[in-house]
C-alpha cells in the first residue's frame, strides 16, 4: 500500500467507526482525522474504549469492525492484517508491552525493521549494519546496549519496557504512532526520557496519537488536539486547554454527558 498522497492529506481517518468483541459493542461511532505534523491526545476513563480504538487501528484480530471505515493515507485498511498495517507505517506503542521469552531483542528489532524497510523498498540490513543503526537509536531513549541481548521485554522494568517501545518506534519510523498510556508506570525522569524520544522522532510528516489519563505527559508533549472519550465515542474535542480542564474537573461530567445523550 504505497501512498501517492500530498503532504497536506490526512494520514489517518477514522470514520464513524463501530466495533465489537465477542458481540459486545465497544466503539460506537468514533470519528477522528490526523494530519501530518499533528499530535492528538485521547483521554477518558478506564473502559471508555481508548485502548480498544488503538488496537483496532493496529488490526487486533479479536475485534470486529461492524460499521465505518479506517483509512490510512487515503486507503481503506479495514481488512488489512496487523503486519500489513505495521509495514505500511502504523505503529502501536503498547500499554503493557509483551514479554517474549527466548526471542532476542536484537533479532526481534532487526526482523521488524527489515520488514518495514522492505515495504519502503529500502535495502534490508544485515546484523552488522543493523547494530550500527540500533546503537544510534538507543541514544534517543538512553538505553544500554545490554538490553539488546536480552529476550524481548523479559525482566525489563516498567520504564525499560516503555523505552523499548519508543526504541522500536524510532527504528520503524512510522507515519503514525499510537502510544497507549506510554506514560503509565514511569517515574519523572523516565517520563522525560520517553517524551524527549517521542519529540525527536516526530516531525512534520508524521502524526501521533497519545492515549493518556494524565496531564503530565502533555506537559512534556503539547498536543494540537485533545479528545475526550466516553462509552465508545469521542464526546468532546478541544485544544490543550481541554486536558487542563479535565485535570481540574475529573471525568464525572463525562458520565452525565453519556446519560443525557
Partner 1 sequence: MEIIEKIKKYKLTVEQTEIQKICLHKLQSSPLPNPKSELWRLSNKSKFSNFLDFSLNEKDLEFDTPYPNTSQSIIRLVIGENCQTKLIEEDYSIQQLSEEELDKYIKEQISYFDQNENWSNLLNLSLSCKKNILGLKIKGSKIPPIEIFSHASSKSLSAKTLVIFLEKNCNLELLQVNLGKQKSSLSQSTFFFLEENSSLNHGVVSYGKNGSNLLNSLNVIQKSNSAYNLGSLHFKFNYARFEINIKQSEGNAKTNIKSMQITKNDEQISTYTKIDFNGPNGFLDQINKSLADDKSHAIFEGSIIVPKIAQKTDASQLSRNLLLSDLAQIDTKPQLEIIADDVKCKHGATISQLNEEELFYMRTRGITLAEASKLQLSSYFQEIISFIPVSKDRWDLLDKLLNEN
Residues at the contact surface with partner 1, assessed by CB under 8 A: 58-62, 81-83, 85-87, 91-92, 94, 97-98, 100-103, 107-108, 111-112, 115-116, 119, 151, 168, 172
Query: Taking the complex as a whole, how short is the minimal distance between the CB of residue 200 and partner 1, in angstroms?
Result: 20
State which residue, 28 or 60, has the beta carbon closest to partner 1.
60
Angle at 120 between CA 114 and CA 121, to 5 degrees: 85
DSSP lists the bridge partners of residue 209 as 40, 178
State which residue, 92 or 186, has the beta carbon closest to partner 1.
92
Query: Taking the complex as a whole, how short is the minimal distance between the CB of residue 93 and partner 1, in angstroms?
Result: 9
Coil vs helix vs strand at 229: strand
Query: Taking the complex as a whole, how short is the minimal distance between the CB of residue 179 and partner 1, in angstroms?
Result: 12
Query: Taking the complex as a whole, how short is the minimal distance between the CB of residue 152 and partner 1, in angstroms?
Result: 8
Report the length, in residues, of the chain. 261
CA terminus-to-terminus distance, the chain: 39
State which residue, 133 or 258, has the beta carbon closest to partner 1.
133
| Burial (CB count within 10 angstroms: exposed 0-12, middle 13-18, buried 19+), residue 177 | buried
State which residue, 75 or 112, has the beta carbon closest to partner 1.
112
Query: Taking the complex as a whole, how short is the minimal distance between the CB of residue 173 and partner 1, in angstroms?
Result: 12
Contacts of 242 (CB under 8 A, 6+ apart): 226, 228, 236
State which residue, 116 or 137, has the beta carbon closest to partner 1.
116
Q: Pseudo-torsion of CA 8, 212, 226, 26, nearest 10°?
A: 90
Query: Taking the complex as a whole, how short is the minimal distance between the CB of residue 64 and partner 1, in angstroms?
Result: 15
The answer to whether the CB of 39 falls within 8 A of the CB of 222 is: yes
| Half-sphere exposure in the Cβ direction for 171 (13 Å, CA) | 33
The answer to whether the CB of 223 falls within 8 A of the CB of 18 is: no
The answer to whether the CB of 44 falls within 8 A of the CB of 32 is: no
State which residue, 152 or 242, has the beta carbon closest to partner 1.
152
> How far is Cα 136 from Cα 173, in angstroms, rounded to an integer?
14
State which residue, 92 or 191, has the beta carbon closest to partner 1.
92
DSSP lists the bridge partners of residue 93 as 179
State the CB neighbour count (10 A cutoff) for residue 211.
25
Query: Taking the complex as a whole, how short is the minimal distance between the CB of residue 142 and partner 1, in angstroms?
Result: 21
Amino acid at each position: 500500500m504505497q501512498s501517492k498522497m500530498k503532504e497536506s492529506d490526512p494520514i489517518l481517518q477514522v470514520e464513524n467507526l463501530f466495533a465489537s468483541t465477542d458481540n459486545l459493542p465497544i466503539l460506537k461511532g468514533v470519528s477522528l482525522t490526523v494530519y501530518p505534523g499533528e499530535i492528538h491526545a485521547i483521554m477518558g476513563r478506564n473502559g471508555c474504549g481508548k485502548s480498544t480504538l488503538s488496537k483496532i487501528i493496529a488490526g487486533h484480530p479479536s475485534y470486529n469492525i461492524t460499521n465505518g471505515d479506517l483509512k490510512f493515507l487515503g486507503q481503506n485498511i479495514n481488512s488489512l492484517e496487523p503486519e500489513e498495517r505495521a509495514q505500511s507505517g502504523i505503529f502501536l506503542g503498547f500499554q503493557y508491552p509483551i514479554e517474549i521469552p527466548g526471542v532476542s531483542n536484537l533479532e526481534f528489532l532487526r526482523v521488524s525493521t527489515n520488514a518495514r524497510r522492505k515495504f519502503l523498498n529500502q535495502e534490508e540490513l544485515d546484523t552488522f549494519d543493523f547494530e550500527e543503526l540500533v546503537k544510534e537509536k538507543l541514544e534517543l531513549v538512553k538505553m544500554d546496549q545490554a538490553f539488546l541481548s536480552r529476550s524481548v521485554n523479559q525482566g525489563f522494568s516498567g520504564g525499560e519496557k516503555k523505552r523499548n517501545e519508543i526504541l522500536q518506534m524510532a527504528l520503524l519510523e512510522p507515519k503514525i504512532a499510537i502510544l497507549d498510556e506510554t506514560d503509565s508506570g514511569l517515574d519523572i525522569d523516565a517520563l522525560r526520557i520517553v517524551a524527549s524520544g517521542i519529540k525527536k522522532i516526530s516531525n512534520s510528516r508524521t502524526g501521533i496519537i497519545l492515549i493518556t489519563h494524565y496531564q503530565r505527559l502533555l506537559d512534556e508533549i503539547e498536543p494540537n488536539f485533545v479528545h475526550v472519550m466516553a462509552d465508545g465515542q469521542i464526546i468532546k474535542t478541544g485544544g490543550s486547554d481541554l486536558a487542563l480542564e479535565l485535570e481540574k474537573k475529573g471525568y464525572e461530567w463525562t458520565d452525565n454527558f453519556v446519560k443525557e445523550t
